Amino acid sequence: MKPWILCLIVAGLTMAQTNEAAATAHGRLAHARELRRAQNQNQSIMFRMRSPRAATPRVSFDNSGNSMLKGAYFVRQVLLVADSNSSAITQAVSLTGTMTFDGNGNYSFSGQQLNSANQAAASNYTVSGVYAVSSSGQVQIQTPVGIDSQDTEFGGVGAAGEVIASATENGYQDIFVAIPEGPASGVTGAYQVGFIDFLQANASNVRNGYFTMTASGGNSFGNVTVNGEMLNQGSQATTQSLSGVSYSFSGNIGTITFPTASNPLTALVSGAKTFAVSPDGNILVGGNPNGFDLFVAVKSASSVSNATYTRTYFQGGLENATNTCGQQNCIDAFYGSVLPNGQGVGTQHQREAGYNFSSFDYTADIVYNFPAGGSFADPNFEWLMGANGEAVLQVGLNGYYTLIPQFQAALLSGKNPFLNPDGILNAASFAPITNSVAPGEYVAMFGTGLASTQSAGSLPLPTTLGGAMIPVNSVPSPLYAASANLITAIVPNETQVYNVASFQVSAGGSTSNSVTLYTASTAPGVFTSTQNGVGPADVFHSNYTYVTQNSPAAAGETVFFYATGLGSTSPAVADGAAAPGSPLAAVNDPNFAVDIYDSQGGDTQIQNFTAVLAPTLAGVYQVNITIPSGIASGEGYLDVSTTDGYTSEAKIYIK
């Protein structure tokens, strides 16, 4: 177990391998949501009003990146309020127009708003508010829609200024997308388009799909063939041929005119959409001001590959997961980030918020296999990569209605010591930057000029190593290993939860930039043999030999694995100190659970387990589990859930 080493050793995957891994993704996420719903029903355990995100922008949130948002941005937002039992939409709001950021934390919006509760058509709407952007590009924007001006959109700012966000903390589901407004002349060439539409503010009329359109001169997109599904038409794969698609501009705001369908209930796309183009011409965003749809288009790629999909991407999504929840409608939304490794795999974080469960942090693996043209399908999504990898879209398939835009974060640098603002990761799961951090969690912090190479030689762990210190909210953190580009540390137990934590490196008489992250009481991650959060977990038989494909875990056998981020223990253990052998320091979280999602799609909750800080080690949790009967043989996912999070990345071999 070497959590401080970044070792991205997984080679490119074949399409068969990609499909096999992707096929389980929705089932694992559905189980996480179901477990969250069950937790919500037990008020003595789950304090539903407690969340790691603020209801309004915090004064303490890092605003050092406010200048990343400056100037006129085109905004499209779709917000849904769903019944907590049926997920039927009780109210829908859409926003279309221009948001002008001043670069100093203030914005003004002018455009149109449609509220299904009291409007048959959109009306003019203006509002002002505040925002904050951290050094990593994480953003908080005071919600502009009139339904709740005190709520906050959480998300990220991409390298080209794109914004993707969602207000996940206050009981409704939405998606917020914004791009800097560019000139009409930026619309050139071919675009790959993804869309979702909650037609007539009705969850049962949801449709999504994708298509290619090419600007061919004379303000024309020519003929377009749309591929998609409509819930009210049985979720069958459908194509729609549209001829004479055109566009026009008034200033920087445009209108795309699709032929109007005689019966919109049987059409994937119909009528006029207001839109804008980014200054580089690579992104289009829009929707119908008199509807509740969103489309995002990316400039078609011609020479991308898996290697193009790398570094951090901010993401967000609005969904009706009809194929995984056991009823007709299951609306949810999220924001988060993705960390692909450029070799076909990676990790992702989604801050999930659903119609009948409170928000939580979900981390999982991703698998992908991009051809040169930038589009491929797995069992869950049509993937569309834009030119140069600036943006990626995921459009749902097979009854999973979703649109997930991803925007690549800026590549950041600074004078040494430099702490990479999007390079503080859970040292076990490698969950990316939007995931919460927790007291007692091992984190891997990447940068340049951080420290001299040195590893801790004894316990308790020192707070100075390789000439460097890492204060977290001014409290020195225990350090496990240090080098010029990577320091592994433990988040101090004193760190306040459901707030923010500020990380900084002090080395050689100099102080690095500060990086601010959200906190929670738990942030689970399982250590893996690949040392990057993805692949076989570090699971051991009772004789301390590895559980492997050739030596799988058997029914009735007790095995153990190592984890981080499981929260407080009884008795408490001092920062960086060795955990006691007697009494054992047991995990306090009443919602701690382990389940195995097996090779055949079955999910089994582990009934017999113990979770403690590993005796004689510092900050590492040991979880012993007894393998129940009935689990399908082969490679399954070893999933861990807590009050605040659910991680589904590490795998276990079952006999």
pLDDT tens, 253-263?
999 999 999 99
Q: What tokens were used for 58?
A: 């915090």
CB 109 within 8 A of CB 93: no
- Give 6 or 318, the one with higher predicted confidence: 318
CB 147 within 8 A of CB 79: yes
Tell me if the domain spanning 418-518 has CATH number 2.60.40.
Answer: yes
Q: Which of 515, 443, 434, 508 is nearest to 473 (CA)?
A: 515
Counted residue by residue, the chain has a size of 655
DSSP 8-state assignment for residue 31: H
Report which secondary-structure segment, H or E, holds 20: helix 15-22
Q: Which residues of 35-55 are buried (b: 16+ CB within 10 A; e: fewer)?
A: bbbebbeeeeebeeeebbbbe
Q: What is the spatial order of strands in the sheet that 418-426 belongs to?
A: 418-426, 442-448, 486-490, 479-482, 454-455
- Backbone φ and ψ for 492, nearest 5 degrees, come out as -60, 145
Q: What share of the chain in percent tops pLDDT 90? A: 85
Q: Position of tokens 């004789």?
A: 543
pLDDT band of 37, cuts 50, 70, 90? low
Q: Are strands 650-654 and 535-536 parallel, antiparallel or unpaired?
A: parallel
> What CA–CA distance (Å, rounded) separates 141 from 69?
11
Rounded to the nearest integer, the mean pLDDT of the chain is 92
> What CA–CA distance (Å, rounded) separates 28 from 30?
5
> What CA–CA distance (Å, rounded) separates 174 from 166?
6
270-315 residue pLDDT tens:
999 999 999 999 999 999 999 999 999 999 998 999 999 999 999 9
Angle, CA 582 vertex, CA 580 and CA 587 arms, to 5°? 65
CB 489 within 8 A of CB 443: yes
Domain ranges of the chain: 15-44+524-654, 51-411, 418-518
> What CA–CA distance (Å, rounded) separates 62 from 153?
15
* C-alpha dihedral sign at 267, 78, 383, 408: positive
379-428 residue pLDDT tens:
999 999 999 999 999 999 999 999 999 999 999 999 999 999 999 999 99
Q: What tokens were used for 532?
A: 């990057």
Q: Which of 61, 36, 60 is nearest to 48 (CA)?
A: 36
pLDDT above 60: residue 201: yes
Residue by residue, what is the 3-state secondary structure of 267-317?
CCCCCEEEEEECCCCCEEEEECCCCCEEEEEEEECCCCCHHHCECCEEEEE
Burial bucket for residue 150 (CB in 10 Å: 0-12, 13-18, 19+): exposed
Beta strands in 441-494 (DSSP E): 442-448, 454-455, 468-469, 471-472, 475-476, 479-482, 486-490
Q: Is 201 helix (H, G, I), strand (E, B) or coil?
A: helix
CB 383 within 8 A of CB 373: no
Q: Which of 650, 625, 481, 446 is nearest to 553 (CA)?
A: 625
- Backbone φ and ψ for 176, nearest 5 degrees, come out as -125, 120
What is the rounded (10 degree) CA torsion for 50, 56, 60, 65? Answer: 130
DSSP 8-state assignment for residue 186: G
Q: Is 238 helix (H, G, I), strand (E, B) or coil?
A: strand
Taking residues 488-512, report their average pLDDT: 96
pTM of the model: 0.94
pLDDT band of 22, cuts 50, 70, 90? low
Q: Position of tokens 């996480």?
A: 32
Q: Position of tokens 């049509």?
A: 382
346-382 residue pLDDT tens:
999 999 999 988 899 999 999 999 999 999 999 999 9
